[in-house]
């Protein structure tokens, strides 16, 4: 996780290493490698990230992703895997601008919440716009049908004929 080289067999003899590998394997495919790289943001420059900390980070983020929603203060937003993937990618892309090593997940959860809230807003706006469009289309269809009925009556062609 922090560019250290070791035999996988040796790592799997360590209980915390097994825990970290298992937690990473249980992450959604789209986020697994990103969460592992995110865990590396907690590593101090002068030493390797220990397996206990790596396992805790991966498990913690995995649990947040699995909830499918994110809460900040009194607000809640849906946070599907795609939102988490985008937030993790943003953080990793902006690594140089981050205050490293990270000490918590506050920045990540803020990014996730902002992306999730924006997504919810877009979807809500789209549904409202769709409802408005549907209502307008229904009114237009009804007006068109009325004009057609009027025309048919003028021409002496009624529905009963």
pLDDT category at 141 given cuts 50, 70, 90 is low
Q: How many helices (H) and strands (E) does the chain have?
A: 6, 2
Separation of alpha carbons 12 and 88, rounded Å: 26
Would 3 be classed as within a structural domain? no
Would 110 be classed as within a structural domain? yes
Would 140 be classed as within a structural domain? yes
Would 160 be classed as within a structural domain? no
pLDDT tens digits for 52-77?
A: 999 999 999 999 999 999 998 888 89
Collapsing DSSP to helix, strand or coil, 99 comes out as coil
Mean pLDDT of 20-48: 93
Would 101 be classed as within a structural domain? yes
Question: Which has the higher per-residue pLDDT, 69 or 147?
Answer: 69
pLDDT tens digits for 74-125?
A: 888 999 999 999 999 999 999 999 999 999 999 999 999 999 999 888 877 6
Would 1 be classed as within a structural domain? no
Question: Which has the higher per-residue pLDDT, 21 or 151?
Answer: 21
Would 159 be classed as within a structural domain? no
Domain residues for the domain of 100 are 8-154
Would 161 be classed as within a structural domain? no
Collapsing DSSP to helix, strand or coil, 157 comes out as coil
């Amino acid at each position: 996780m922090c560019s250290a080289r070791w035999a996988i067999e040796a790592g799997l003899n360590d209980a915390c290493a097994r825990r970290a590998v298992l937690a990473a394997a249980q992450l959604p495919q789209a986020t697994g490698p990103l969460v592992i790289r995110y865990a590396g943001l907690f590593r101090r420059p002068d030493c390797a990230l220990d397996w206990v900390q790596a396992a805790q980070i991966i498990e913690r983020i995995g649990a947040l992703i699995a909830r499918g929603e994110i809460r900040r203060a009194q607000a809640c937003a849906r946070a599907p895997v795609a939102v988490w993937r985008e937030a993790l990618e943003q953080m990793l892309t902006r690594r140089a601008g981050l205050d490293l090593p990270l000490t918590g997940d506050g920045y990540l959860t803020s990014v996730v919440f902002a992306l999730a809230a924006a997504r919810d807003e877009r979807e809500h706006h789209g549904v409202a716009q769709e409802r408005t469009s549907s209502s307008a289309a229904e009114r237009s269809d009804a007006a068109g049908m009325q004009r057609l009925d009027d025309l048919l009556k003028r021409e002496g062609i009624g529905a009963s004929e």
